[in-house]
Chain A
Amino acid sequence: MAVADVSQSSAKVNWLYDARVRAVFYQILTIVLFVLFVVWLGSNTAQNLEDRGIATGFGFLDQPAGFGVPFSLIDYSETSPYWDAFVLSVLNTLFISFIGIVLATVIGFIFGVMRLSSNWIISKFAAIYLETARNVPLLLQILFWYFGVLTALPQLRQSINIGDSIFLNNRGLYMPSPIYGPGFEFVVIAFLVAVIGVIMIRRWAAKRQEATGEQFPVFWTALGLILGLPLLAFAVTGFPLSWEYPALKGFNFRGGAVLIPEFMALLAALTLYTAAFIGEIVRAGIMAVSHGQTEAAYALGIRPGTTMRLVIIPQALRVIVPPLTSQYLNLTKNSSLAAAIGYPELVAVWSGTVLNQTGQAIECILMTMLVYLTISLSISVFMNWYNRRIALVER
Chain B
Amino acid sequence: MATMDTSQSGRETPAVHVPAPDLPPPATEVGIIGWARANLFSNWWNSLLTLVGIYLFYLILPPILDWAIFSADFVGESRDDCTSGGACWVFISIRFDQFIYGFYPEAERWRPTLAVGLGLLCLVYCLTDGVPFRKYVAMFLCLPFPIIAFFLLSGGFGLPHVETPKWGGFLLTIVIASVGIASSLPIGIALALGRRSQMPVIRMICIGFIEFVRAVPLITVLFMSLVILPLFLPPGSNFDQLLRALIGVSLFSAAYMAEVVRGGLQAMPKGQYEAAQALGMNYWTMMRLIILPQALKIVIPAIVSSFIGLFKDTTLVLIIGLVDLLAMIQLAVTDSKWIGLATEGYAFCAILFFIFCFGMSQYSMYLERKLHTGHKR
Residue of A nearest to B45 (CB): A119
What per-residue 1/0 map shows which CB atoms of B195-224 lie under 8 Å from chain A?
000111110010000001011111110011
> What separation, in Å, do the CA atoms of A51 and B350 have in the docked complex?
45
Determine whether the beta carbon of A121 is less than 8 Å from that of B57: yes
Whole-angstrom distance from the CB of A42 to the nearest CB of chain B?
9
Stretch at the interface among A63-71, A199-207, A239-247, A364-372: A364-372
Whether A8 is near chain B, meaning CB under 8 Å from some CB there, is no
Whether A361 is near chain B, meaning CB under 8 Å from some CB there, is yes
Determine whether the beta carbon of B346 is less than 8 Å from that of A144: yes
For chain B, what secondary structure do more than half of its interface residues adopt (helix, strand, loop), or is it mixed?
A: helix
Q: Ordered nearest first, which 9 A-B pairs have the shortest CB separation?
A: A121-B53, A333-B217, A376-B215, A135-B357, A120-B39, A137-B312, A27-B201, A336-B217, A137-B315
Interface residues of B in 339-369 (CB under 8 A from A): 342-343, 346, 349-350, 353-354, 357-358, 361
**Cβ-defined partner of A372 (8 Å) among B205, B217, B354:** B217
Please give 8 more A-B residue pairs, beta carbons under 8 A apart, in addition to A121-B57, A147-B342.
A48-B231, A48-B233, A122-B50, A132-B354, A138-B312, A139-B316, A337-B219, A373-B216
Determine whether the beta carbon of A136 is less than 8 Å from that of B215: no
Q: A31-B201, A132-B354 are in contact. Are A143 and B330 (CB under 8 A)?
A: yes
Q: A140-B346, A291-B377, A362-B228 are in contact. Are A27 and B318 (CB under 8 A)?
A: no
A-B contact list, 7 entries, CB within 8 Å: A45-B231, A121-B40, A121-B57, A137-B353, A143-B326, A337-B217, A361-B228
What per-residue 1/0 map shows which CB atoms of B178-192 lie under 8 Å from chain A?
000000000000000
Q: A119-B50, A136-B354 are in contact. Are A44 and B42 (CB under 8 A)?
A: no
> What separation, in Å, do the CA atoms of A31 and B199 have in the docked complex?
12
- The count of residues in chain A whose C-beta lies closer than 8 Å to any C-beta of chain B is 54
Determine whether the beta carbon of B231 is less than 8 Å from that of A137: no
Interface residues of A in 2-29 (CB under 8 A from B): 23, 26-27
Residue of A nearest to B47 (CB): A119
User: Which residues of chain A have C-beta atoms less than 8 A from B157's C-beta?
Assistant: none
Whether A131 is near chain B, meaning CB under 8 Å from some CB there, is yes
Whether A155 is near chain B, meaning CB under 8 Å from some CB there, is no
Whether B93 is near chain A, meaning CB under 8 Å from some CB there, is no
Whether B333 is near chain A, meaning CB under 8 Å from some CB there, is yes
User: Which residues of chain A have C-beta atoms less than 8 A from B205's C-beta?
Assistant: 30, 34
**Cβ-defined partner of A121 (8 Å) among B49, B218, B326, B343:** B49
Determine whether the beta carbon of A334 is less than 8 Å from that of B202: no
Whether A148 is near chain B, meaning CB under 8 Å from some CB there, is yes
> What separation, in Å, do the CA atoms of A47 and B230 have in the docked complex?
12
Whether A347 is near chain B, meaning CB under 8 Å from some CB there, is yes
Residues of A with Cβ closer than 8 Å to B?
23, 26-27, 30-31, 34, 41, 44-45, 47-49, 51, 117-122, 125, 131-132, 134-140, 143-144, 147-148, 151, 291, 329, 333-334, 336-337, 339-340, 347, 351, 355, 361-362, 365, 368-369, 372-373, 376-377
User: Which residues of chain B have C-beta atoms less than 8 A from A143's C-beta?
Assistant: 326, 330, 342, 346
**Cβ-defined partner of A136 (8 Å) among B198, B234, B350:** B350
Whole-angstrom distance from the CB of A37 to the nearest CB of chain B?
10
Determine whether the beta carbon of A135 is less than 8 Å from that of B354: yes
> What separation, in Å, do the CA atoms of A145 and B59 have in the docked complex?
20
User: Which residues of chain B have C-beta atoms less than 8 A from A355's C-beta?
Assistant: 223, 227
Whether B114 is near chain A, meaning CB under 8 Å from some CB there, is no
Residues of B with Cβ closer than 8 Å to A?
39-40, 42, 46, 49-50, 52-54, 56-57, 198-202, 205, 212, 214-220, 223-224, 227-228, 230-235, 308, 312-313, 315-316, 318-319, 326, 330, 333, 342-343, 346, 349-350, 353-354, 357-358, 361, 377
> What separation, in Å, do the CA atoms of A351 and B224 have in the docked complex?
9
**Cβ-defined partner of B318 (8 Å) among A41, A340, A373:** A340
Determine whether the beta carbon of A48 is less than 8 Å from that of B230: yes
Residue of A nearest to B227 (CB): A361
Determine whether the beta carbon of A365 is less than 8 Å from that of B223: yes
**Cβ-defined partner of B219 (8 Å) among A125, A132, A339:** A339
Determine whether the beta carbon of A41 is less than 8 Å from that of B212: no
Whole-angstrom distance from the CB of A57 to the nearest CB of chain B?
15
Residue of B nearest to A144 (CB): B346
> What separation, in Å, do the CA atoms of A85 and B51 have in the docked complex?
52
> What separation, in Å, do the CA atoms of A120 and B41 have in the docked complex?
10
Determine whether the beta carbon of A347 is less than 8 Å from that of B377: no
User: Which residues of chain A have C-beta atoms less than 8 A from B349's C-beta?
Assistant: 140
User: Which residues of chain A have C-beta atoms less than 8 A from B235's C-beta?
Assistant: 44, 47-48, 51
Residue of A nearest to B36 (CB): A120
**Cβ-defined partner of B232 (8 Å) among A41, A135, A376:** A41
User: Which residues of chain B have C-beta atoms less than 8 A from A368's C-beta?
Assistant: 216, 220, 223
